[in-house]
Amino acid sequence: MFKNFEGLLLLLLVMLVLSSPAFGNKNAKKPDGAKLFAEHCARCHAGGGNIVKSSHPIAGSQQLSSILKFKDYLSAPPGHMPYYQDIVNNKQKLESLYQYCKTLKDVPPKEANSGTAPAS
């Protein structure tokens, strides 16, 4: 009986390892940067702005000049900005959020906070 348990445990372990994203599982869902932003950032940074310090929007920020700089900034956030360890320590989440933030355009604070985008 013990041998069967060991075999089952080994089989489960192999299946778990092979199904992980690190082994290229095509069905593994990649984190959605827009969803991460909506969940963790949008309350203060709607539309790429900054309701706490409007002169420092995310859009066009120097913190987006590289993934390393972005990670460093999020690893030691300023002021009352929360530290999201689960994003900082997860390469896929960090990359997805970084790529999404790079798409944000500089939106005037009043428009960003109202949820409307400027007319193009």
Residue 64 belongs to a domain with what CATH number? 1.10.760.10
Q: State the total domains in the chain.
A: 1
**pLDDT bucket at 11, cuts 50 / 70 / 90:** low
Tell whether 11 is covered by a domain: no
Q: Which domain holds residue 102?
A: 31-114
**pLDDT bucket at 68, cuts 50 / 70 / 90:** very high
Tell whether 16 is covered by a domain: no
Tell whether 89 is covered by a domain: yes
DSSP structural state of residue 46: G
Tell whether 21 is covered by a domain: no
Tell whether 106 is covered by a domain: yes
Q: Is the dihedral of CA 37, 41, 42, 43 positive or negative?
A: positive
How far apart, in whole angstroms, are the C-alpha atoms of residue 41 and residue 43?
Answer: 6
Tell whether 14 is covered by a domain: no
The stretch 38-59 carries a mean pLDDT of 93
Beta-carbon contacts of 97 under 8 Å, excluding residues fewer than 6 positions away, are 31, 33, 36, 37, 40, 41, 87
Tell whether 59 is covered by a domain: yes
Q: What angle do CA 29, 75, 113 make, to 5 degrees?
A: 75
| Share of residues in the chain with pLDDT > 90 (%) | 57
Tell whether 92 is covered by a domain: yes
Give whole-number Cα distances, 33 to 42, 48, 60, 75, 78, in Å: 12, 13, 17, 18, 21
